[in-house]
Amino acid sequence: MERVSLFLRSRWRQSDSGRYAPRVLAFVPEGFNRSMIELVSSEAGWELTISDRLVGIAANAGETAPVILFDRELWPGLWREAVGLLTRRSPRPYLILLSPTSDGNLWEELQRFGGSDILRSPIDRESTLGAVGRAWSLWRSQQQVRVLRFS
């Protein structure tokens, strides 16, 4: 059981309140969504890294952030490839696509490239907290099962 605990602690940090907080990697351009993510992250105590450059994807692909927020509008023609690159590593992160639309076709496409959820933009505080909270909870549960299964 100690192996599980050590593995999971390496993917999050202990907040000032003593609770463990997720590492969140956000690929969002300057503007409202970025400001909202920064505000919510500050309130929730997440360890947040933000990038708005394509080169940032390659540089951050090795990061161990379990939750990734990716704004589809950042690179409209390249989001699929970027999502595929970010979700290719192990353990697989929980990627949330920020998009002004969400329909069945987008859901299928996102899942095909390894994404996990869609958050409609412009985002708000409650939906962002809820999406990241669900992602964090699911990711942690999957990793606990994964570590126990292979230990």
The DSSP-derived string for the chain is -HHHHHHHHTTEEE-TTSSEEEEEEEE--SSHHHHHHHHHHHHHT-EEEEE--HHHHHHHTT---SEEEEEGGGSTTTHHHHHHHHTSSSSPPEEEEEES---HHHHHHHHHTT--EEEESS--HHHHHHHHHHHHHHHHHHHHHHHHHH-
Domain total in the chain:
1
Express each pLDDT in 82-103 by its tens digit.
999 889 888 889 999 999 999 9
Q: What is the CATH classification number for the domain harbouring 137?
A: 3.40.50.2300
Would the pLDDT of 15 be above 90?
no
**Full-model pTM:** 0.83
Range of the domain at 37: 2-150
Express each pLDDT in 24-65 by its tens digit.
999 999 999 999 999 999 999 999 999 887 666 656 555 568
